Structure 1
Amino acid sequence: MISILTLALAPVAAIMTFIYFNKRIELEPLPLIFRTFILGALLVFPIMFIQYAFNVEGLLQSPYSQSFILAGLLEEFLKWFIFLFAVYQHREFDHPYDGIIYGVAISLGFATVENVIYLLANGAQYAWGRAIFPVSSHALFGILMGFYIGKAKFNTYHNKMWLLLALLIPVGLHGLYDLILTTTASVWIYLMIPFMAVLWYIGIRKINLANHNYPNVHTKAE
């Protein structure tokens, strides 16, 4: 049990540390980050119940429905909702990069519980694969969600459009990720590696943009 927890938490801690210390100005308060992480972790249980109920009833069972609705839309919508409900109006959310930090915290909270459950059920031998693909993909979806929520909060125009993109882009990418896993059988790895490489490239680019392209962010936050 200890080894499973260690293997599940190690990639989460590594990614969260990387995101946290990449902020160029004052660091965010750890209690708020921890709270958003816990909220993300708690999402696993209602999501698992809803997905189980749909499976039992035989609803939305096609690969496309499973990938884009029961996985992509359901999971990313609830993360997005939690972000808007618990973080968006918080006074500590005072820089666009903070959106990335809290988006990743929510996503990694979810990924941590999901990862622990999977490793307990299937064995520690899957830990490296889980770290490279599901855990990091959740973090990358969180980067994109947080980036666009940051744009929504700190721009005086197109706020609703940025909030919509903060939902739709992670939903689409999450759905595509799951679709690759469920429909490409033995060749999935050849599609997933370039897919993840592109996601990481985009994620790093968004991190740099959030850090450097907002010189006057406090005018609206104040």
Structure 2
Amino acid sequence: MVGMVVTSLCALAALALFALLGGGANFFVCVGLAVLPVPIMVATVLLLDRLEPEPARDLLFAFLWGAGVAVLGALILNTVGLKYVTEPVFGEQGRFWTTVVGAPVVEEALKGAVLFVLLWFRRNEIDGVTDGIVYATMVSLGFAMMENISYYLEALDDGGAQRLEAVFLLRGLVAPFCHPLFTAMTGLGVAYAANRRTGRVTALVAGLLAAMLLHGLWNGGTLMGVGGLAVVYLLDFCILVVLLTLIFLERRALVRQIGHYLPAYLRTGLVSPQDIAMLGQMPLRREARRWARSIGGKGAARAMSDYQLAATELVLLHKRMDNGVIDVPFFARRRGELLRLMGIARQALALSRIHAGPVAPPPWGPSGFAPPPG
């Protein structure tokens, strides 16, 4: 709660500062343009994260950190660095060095800081590559949204509407994924550190340095004209493809792990072979939620979502135990919680079937979520 309040206040302070600098209707126009791509980007992130969604409060905290703490910190440190470091040392080249070196170091350190906070306090929520990328993307979207406001205001001041259109085309439409891509490198390091016992510090440092390097290359490319921008854009696009491939491979591995770990729980009655098959296929998971809604409305659909999430979390818990990153007492306690949640969800769905009267059996198999006998 404290973190939410602090980050929100920082975001409001940044907006107030931009409003003072921009003034009038220009400020609201620039805010609207900066916000425009954010819902699409957030929806895309949530789509990538749909197999094992992260807590909404953690995603919101990351976004607000980027929009508040990171933006204010970068504004102060970049300004101070330009005035007292790069300009005195490099003279007329001071702004170039701030853009290519200073800003990437400051901004990626500030964005990455929230990932380190989550690693320290919410380590058990970071289950793999996808989670690291998702959190990195959320903090970067918040940062990019606020930074774009300042860029759009500056464009209006420098060249009017025509200049604003060019800057919006580049930052809002052509390359909105750049900030998330940079910080995703830090996210990869954090994901490794959360799921491995060795090489954690190396992974964190390497991820942060890679984020700074990619950011610096992009900023340098924007100063080298269309040719330089095209080269770094192509590089970033290739890295984006690699990241999406990693997410796809991790999801496929998780599906295999569902079939590996969950059969051990057949004797508990909390899963059946048909349920395991359903949990391992995204189309069947969606069909299961639709079926639950048809028999019991939103409550039953929520119960099915809870069941699917708890079962997936159980598989990931086993994976973390096998990797040696959690101890036996935590494993036993958390497994008990997840099994209880699965039991409650199954009972709710079974009761929904009774109250609904004659209904079609679950589409993934006749034995799944059967009402209790008698």
Opposite residue 216 of structure 2, the aligned amino acid is G
Which secondary structure does the structure 1 equivalent of 2:36 belong to? helix
2:320 to 199, 207, 218: 218
Partner of 1:170: 211
Partner of 1:13: 39
Q: Is the 8 A contact 2:221 2:228 kept in 1?
A: yes
Give distance in 1, aligned partners of 2:172 and 2:143. 13
Opposite residue 159 of structure 1, the aligned amino acid is R
1:77 and 2:179 correspond: no
Distance 1:158 1:92, change over 3 A: closer
Q: Is the 8 A contact 1:154 1:217 kept in 2?
A: no
Q: Is the 8 A contact 1:76 1:167 kept in 2?
A: yes
The Cα shift of 1:117 comes to 1.6
Q: Is the 8 A contact 2:78 2:102 kept in 1?
A: yes
The Cα shift of 1:201 comes to 1.8
What is the Cα-based RMSD across aligned positions, in Å?
Answer: 2.5
User: 162-171 or 92-101, which moves further after superposition?
Assistant: 92-101
Partner of 1:117: 150
1:198 to 238, 250, 263: 238
Which of the two has higher C-alpha Rg?
Answer: 2
Partner of 2:182: 141
Unaligned runs of 5+ in 2: 1-26, 157-163, 258-317, 332-374
1:108 to 123, 141, 144: 141
Give distance in 1, aligned partners of 2:248 and 2:148. 28
User: 172-181 or 197-206, which moves further after superposition?
Assistant: 197-206
User: 200-209 or 105-114, which moves further after superposition?
Assistant: 200-209
Which secondary structure does the structure 1 equivalent of 2:125 belong to? coil
The Cα shift of 1:112 comes to 0.8
Distance 1:60 1:200, change over 3 A: farther
Give distance in 2, aligned partners of 1:50 and 1:156. 34
Provide the identity percentage: 21
Distance 1:206 1:142, change over 3 A: farther
The Cα shift of 1:152 comes to 1.3
Partner of 1:158: 199
Q: Is the 8 A contact 1:147 1:210 kept in 2?
A: no
Deviations 1:8-52 (A, max 9, x none): 123222222212221252211222211111111121122112211
Question: How many residue pairs are counted as aligned between the two chains?
Answer: 221
Q: Is the 8 A contact 1:143 1:206 kept in 2?
A: no
Q: Is the 8 A contact 1:60 1:66 kept in 2?
A: no
Which secondary structure does the structure 2 equivalent of 1:39 belong to? helix
What aligned pairs does 1:176-191 form with structure 2 within 5 A after superposition?
176-182=217-223, 184-191=224-231
Q: Is the 8 A contact 1:99 1:149 kept in 2?
A: yes
Tell which has more relative contact order, 1 or 2 (C-alpha 8 A, sep 6+): 1
1:53 and 2:115 correspond: no
1:31 and 2:57 correspond: yes
Opposite residue 36 of structure 1, the aligned amino acid is A
Distance 1:186 1:105, change over 3 A: closer
